[in-house]
Structure 1
Amino acid sequence: MAKISNVFAKEEVKKTTHPKRITKWIHYTKLAKNEKQYCDAKDKEEIEGLADLIEADGMVLQDLLVRKTNSDEYKIIAGHKRHAACKLLVEERDKKEFEFLPCFEQNISDVQAEFQLYSSNCHHEETPYEIMHKLERMQYLINNYPEEFPEIQGGRMVERLAKKYNLSRSTVGEYLTISKNLGDMAMNEFEKGEIDKSAAVTLASMSEENQIQALSRGCKTDKELKSYKAEFLNPTTNEIITAYEELGIKEIDDLDRKKICRKMIEKYGKSYTSVRSDRINIDCTPKKITINEKELTWNCFSKLLDKEISVNQIVVQDRKNKENIKGEQKHLKVSYESYLRLIAGKQKCVFIKDHRFRESEEIEIYAVNQQGYNTKAAMFTITYINEQESGIEKGYALLNLEMIKDSVKE
C-alpha cells in the first residue's frame, strides 16, 4: 500500500533560469547620449509629443537600455527620446517626478553596445540615409568582431537583416553599395534628404569626381542623373562600335549577353588588354573597361553592346570540325523579320517560290536590314521540303530549317 505521504509528494520541477531584469532608477543627468546615435528626433515637436504621452501616463512605461561607463555615469543604448522627453518635463515644465528614469543596465562590450544601438531602433521611422548607416555599421561590426557574435554567420545575417527590416537582399545590397561608393558631397546630400535612394544608387555607380560634376549641374533626381550619365559618362554609340571592332569582340560574340560578358572579362579583363589608336583609347581590367577615359563595368558594357550592336551584326566563331562544302554555296534572301526569328530560334521554316534546293543541303540565309544593308549570312540545314500539303500552291514550297550552331558568317 502506498504511503499517504507519497500521494502528496510534489514532483521536482526543473526550472529554466533566465537573467533577471532589475530596474534601476537613474537620475536623468547621469544618463549620457551615445555618440553612435544616428536617428535623433526630427524636431522638438516630436519630443514634446512624447513628453505629453509620458506625462499623461504618469510614468515612463518602458525601461531604457543603458551601459555603465564609470562610477557615476551611464551611456544610453536605447531610449534617447524618452530621456529627452523627461529632461524637457523636468527643466521646462517643472515636473520633478520625472527626474529619475527606469533603466536596465547591460554589462556588455563596446562592440555589442553599438550593435544593440542599431538593432533597438528597428521601430523608428528611419530615413534612407539612416537605414544605410545602420546596415553598414552592423555589417562592419559582424565582419570585424566575429568573436563578439559567435552565433551569427555573415551570409545568414544579411538575410536576417533583410527580413527584420522588410527589405529584399538586393535592397540591402544597394544600401551597402551606397555606403561604400558615395563620395563626401553626395553622402552629405543623401543625409540631408536632397537626393533619394534611387538617385544615390545611380551616383554610387560613378566616380567621386563625376558625382561632384553631376550634382554641381543640379542633377539630383534619378532620372536627371541617368540622363547626365548617358550624355556625359557613357561612351557614345560610335565609341561602343569602335571598341567592338578594335578589341575583336565579334570573334567571340554571342547572342547570350551574360555569356559574352564572362568571355570579355576572361579575354580582355584578366589580361589587362590596352588599345591605343587614332580612333580610340581602351583600357581593360577584370572589373571594368575604360573607353576614352569613360569607365564602366563589364556588365554595363555588355548591355550597351546589346543596345548598339543589333542581332543582325553578331558574328560568332566559325564552325569547328565542319567539312568544307563542295561546289557553289546556295543563298536565300528572306524578310528581315523572318531572319531575326530564324536566328533566334523562334521560326523553323520559310515559304519560297521556284526553289532550287534539296533536302539535307546547307544554305546561307540573309536579309536586308532597316538601314538598307545586307545582314550577315546564317547557315542552315534543310531538314525537309514540303510541296505536297494541301493549301500549298503549285510552284511553292515550305522549307523546314535547322540552324547550324555557331555558324553566322561574315
Structure 2
Amino acid sequence: MIDIKRSANRPRANFSNNFEELLMDKQKVVSLPMSKIEPFSFNGDPQPFAIDENEISALADSISKCGLITPIIVRSISSNSYQILSGHKRYAACKKLMHLDIDAVVIEVTDDNVAFDIVCQANIQRKEPRPSELSKMFNTYLSLRKNVSADLTVNEISNMFGISRKTIYRYANISNLDNGLAELIDSKSIQIRFIEPLAKLSPEQQKAIADYYNYDERLSSKELTLVIEQMTNSGSSDIYDIMKAIRNLSEKKKEPYKNSLYNEMYIKKPLCMQNMTESELDKIMYELLDKYLENNFKSTKKVTTNEK
C-alpha cells in the first residue's frame, strides 16, 4: 500500500485520463469481501456524485459478460474495513449482481481531505458531472477553506479545476435553489447563468417557475429574464399572470400601428422612421399619395391633349 499524505504542496486534481493507472502503479490487485467495503463519505456526507440506476444496470450487464475489467480503488479505514475512493458505480453493479468479492487496489490515505481530492478527480475524469454535483463538490471545498489550513484559497480551488472564482460561486449557489430548478439546470433546460438571479427569489417564486416548466412549457431566455425581473420587483409568485402580461405586451409590440394608414399600406417601416409617431407617419403617407395623384393626373392630361 502507498501512503498519500497532505504536504505543503497538497495533492491537486489534474483530471488526467490515466488517473487510475497512476494510482495503481506497482500496486497489487486483491480480492476483498464486498461486505467489508463502504461508499466514501466526508464529514458524514456522501460523496457528491450521483449514481444513475440506468448506468448501473448497463454496467452490470457488461460485468456479467466480460467480468470486472478495472478494479476499484479503496483506502483502509480500519484493520478490516475499506472505503471506496474510485469505483462507486462498479461496486454498485457488482452488488446488483450479488457478487461476494470484488477486485480492488488498496492505497493508504490517512487524510480525509486528500481522500476527497481523489474521489473528485476519479469522477470528473470519467464524464462531465452535473451542475448539482459540482455544487456539492465546490461547497465542500469552500467549507474546507474555512476549516482546514489557510493555504486552501479560492484561487487555489480555481486553479485546481481550471475555472474562474465566479464560476465556482455560481455552481455553489445551486444549493440555494429549489430542487426542481436544480434538476432543470442539470438537464440544461435552464442555463447556468440564471443560477444567481434565481437564487435571489423566494422559495415560493422558485417553485412556481419550476412547476411552470414541468407542467406547462419551457420559457425562452428572454421570457425567463422578464419573469425574474417581474418577480423581483413585485414580490409576486403568480407566474401565470406575469407570463400573460409579458405575452400581451409582446403582441402589442408586434403591431404598433395596427389602425394606422401606414400599416394598411403594408409597407415595412424604414429605420429612419423608427421614432416617428403614428400621426407623423400618416402625414407622410398622405403627402406621398398627394404627389402620386398629382403626377398621375398630369400624365393623363398630356395623353388626352395629344389625342385631340
Q: For the superposition of Structure 1 and Structure 2, which TM-score range results when normalised by the shorter chain?
A: 0.5 to 0.7
Code of the aligned partner of 1:119:
Q
Structure-1 separation of matches of 2:49 and 2:92 = 13
**Structure of higher RCO (CA pairs closer than 8 Å, 6+ residues apart):** 2
Structure-1 separation of matches of 2:153 and 2:210 = 38
Residues 66 and 76 in structure 1, CA contact (< 8 A), matched pair in contact too: yes
Q: Please name the residue that 1:46 is paired with.
A: 55
Q: Please name the residue that 1:226 is paired with.
A: 225
Structure-1 separation of matches of 2:212 and 2:127 = 34
Q: Please name the residue that 1:318 is paired with.
A: none
Q: Please name the residue that 2:33 is paired with.
A: 27
Q: Please name the residue that 2:156 is paired with.
A: 156
Deviations 1:168-217 (A, max 9, x none): 554333213434xx25xx14541475763344333123344643565566
Indicate how the Cα distance of structure 1 residues 142 and 67 shifts in structure 2: closer, same or farther if over 3 A, else same.
Answer: farther
Residues 142 and 154 in structure 1, CA contact (< 8 A), matched pair in contact too: yes
Residue 131, structure 1, aligned to residue 161, structure 2: no
Residue 171, structure 1, aligned to residue 164, structure 2: no
Indicate how the Cα distance of structure 1 residues 188 and 74 shifts in structure 2: closer, same or farther if over 3 A, else same.
Answer: farther
Residue 102, structure 1, aligned to residue 112, structure 2: no
Residues 203 and 225 in structure 1, CA contact (< 8 A), matched pair in contact too: no
Match of 1:202 among 197, 204, 227: 197
Indicate how the Cα distance of structure 1 residues 69 and 231 shifts in structure 2: closer, same or farther if over 3 A, else same.
Answer: same
Indicate how the Cα distance of structure 1 residues 172 and 215 shifts in structure 2: closer, same or farther if over 3 A, else same.
Answer: same
Matched residue count: 204
Residue 113, structure 1, aligned to residue 115, structure 2: yes
Q: Please name the residue that 1:145 is paired with.
A: 148
Code of the aligned partner of 1:156:
E
| Aligned-residue offset at 1:131 | 1.9
Q: Please name the residue that 1:301 is paired with.
A: none
- 3-state SS of 2:76 partner: strand
Residues 29 and 104 in structure 2, CA contact (< 8 A), matched pair in contact too: yes
Name the one with the larger strand percent: 1
Q: Which runs of 5+ in 1 are unaligned?
A: 1-17, 236-292, 295-368, 372-410
Structure-1 separation of matches of 2:65 and 2:110 = 34
Residues 143 and 154 in structure 1, CA contact (< 8 A), matched pair in contact too: no
Residues 23 and 103 in structure 1, CA contact (< 8 A), matched pair in contact too: yes
Q: Could you tell me the TM-score, scaled by structure 2's length? A: 0.53
Amino-acid identity (%)? 24
Structure-1 separation of matches of 2:195 and 2:107 = 39
Residues 56 and 92 in structure 2, CA contact (< 8 A), matched pair in contact too: yes
Structure-2 separation of matches of 1:87 and 1:216 = 36
Deviations 1:88-127 (A, max 9, x none): 33x2xxxx6x723222233322333233322321123322
Q: Please name the residue that 1:190 is paired with.
A: 182
Q: Could you tell me the TM-score, scaled by structure 1's length? A: 0.41
Code of the aligned partner of 1:79:
G
Which structure: larger Rg? 1
